[in-house]
Amino acid sequence: MWCFEVQVLGILSFIISLLTLSSTASYSSTLQPKADTKTINSHMIKTIQSEDGDIIDCIDLYKQPAFDHPALRNHTIQMAPSYNKAAEKNNDDINNREIRISQVWKRSGMSCPKGTIPVRRGTINSKLTTTAANIIRKTPPHHSHNNNNLSLLQTNHSKAILLTVGYRYLGAKGDIKVCYPQVEKDDDYSTSQVTLSNGDYNDYESVESGWAVNPRLYGDRQTRFFVYWTSDGSKTSGCFDLTCPGFVQTSNEIALGAAIYPTSFPHDLSYEITIYIFKDAETSNWWVEYGNRIKIGYWPGELFKELRSNADSVEWGGEVYSDRVGHTPHSSTAMGNGRFPEGMYGNSGYIKRIRIHDNSLYLKFPEWVETYTDEYNCYDVDYVGDYIADPEFYYGGPGRNPICP
């Protein structure tokens, strides 16, 4: 089984290397400072105290941190995406399904007024051991070597994903089960997301969105909604949420980094968030849609080089970061809900209604998919594509366990 997986990884690596081009960041992170809290506070119009302790500041839409990025100084904000034929023609995805989950800060009935965006106050926890740059960004990929062959395993990162490559991708969508995984250390994190990327494997551009338990970023272990971007493989550019200039938020309904409720527990009701990331054909901006109706905002095309055209790969699944990944003892930080995949029983993490948008006029299931996991003894995958109308992807695991010591 291991030999087969090594062969699959080698084939994937070869395919990706043929399909991708080396990309460079449009601007260095030295020109992308962390969002200035004092500046944000100066544009505050309203403050909301959430029952979970978060403070949400409603700030002027046109005074948000995004416009501090040098590439966006003369950017004209796009208040809504252009007409999206893919979404309109996707008959099986257009439905009246109710948005089943919300955010804790909205429980009181409070909301930010139109013309403002909700910004979670105090994103950075300065008491943690990592530097500010590593808190707002993922650590860049460094790959391990095994028998003189390059492995796809990133140092300190472990993924369990469903992958598609080989086409021009203009969007991707999925229903992600919202879980509450254990995160062992304050510097660890566990995420589940939809990711679109382009560029060389060591210097890629990507946009992603989903949920995260990330104490080093948020200061607690609640499950929170996030967006993330980078233009150079997280070496010097990009960040989570609004912690650096870049992402332009337009919605007053969703706060980036705010806690999600309710969350799913094994053998109980499953709760999902629907994430759709798509490229605007007229502006080259990459939009994030939440729950089939809320257009949260976008990453401007000016941030990227390769992604200004299209993505060349899409991933759905989970990721764990810990300095104990790949070591013994392994981290006990969980992925998904901490359970190994159990197929259609649904007691692990999962992503359903998996869709991509390519050159066709509608959202569809990908022509080709492949599962991949860095450490199948720690975090595994299970793709269910036979005998069901719509394929489903299950993933996750506990990290450290008797077969992952």
Annotated catalytic residues are 208, 319
Which pair of structure tokens corresponds to residue 20? 């991708």
Q: Are 3 and 152 in contact (CB under 8 A)?
A: no
User: What are the CA-CA distances from residue 34 to residues 133, 135, 216, 219 (Å)?
Assistant: 8, 10, 15, 17
Element at 157 (helix H, strand E): strand 157-169
Residue 165: name the closest of 372, 27, 400 by CA: 372
Strands 224-230 and 157-169: unpaired
Query: Measured between alpha carbons, how far is 251 from 290 in angstroms, rounded to an integer?
Result: 10
Which pair of structure tokens corresponds to residue 268? 């109980």
Q: Are 30 and 133 in contact (CB under 8 A)?
A: no
Query: Measured between alpha carbons, how far is 200 from 202 in angstroms, rounded to an integer?
Result: 5
Q: In what order do the strands lie in the sheet with 370-373?
A: 239-240, 224-230, 205-213, 189-198, 311-321, 157-169, 370-373
Which pair of structure tokens corresponds to residue 43? 């544009």
Element at 14 (helix H, strand E): helix 2-19
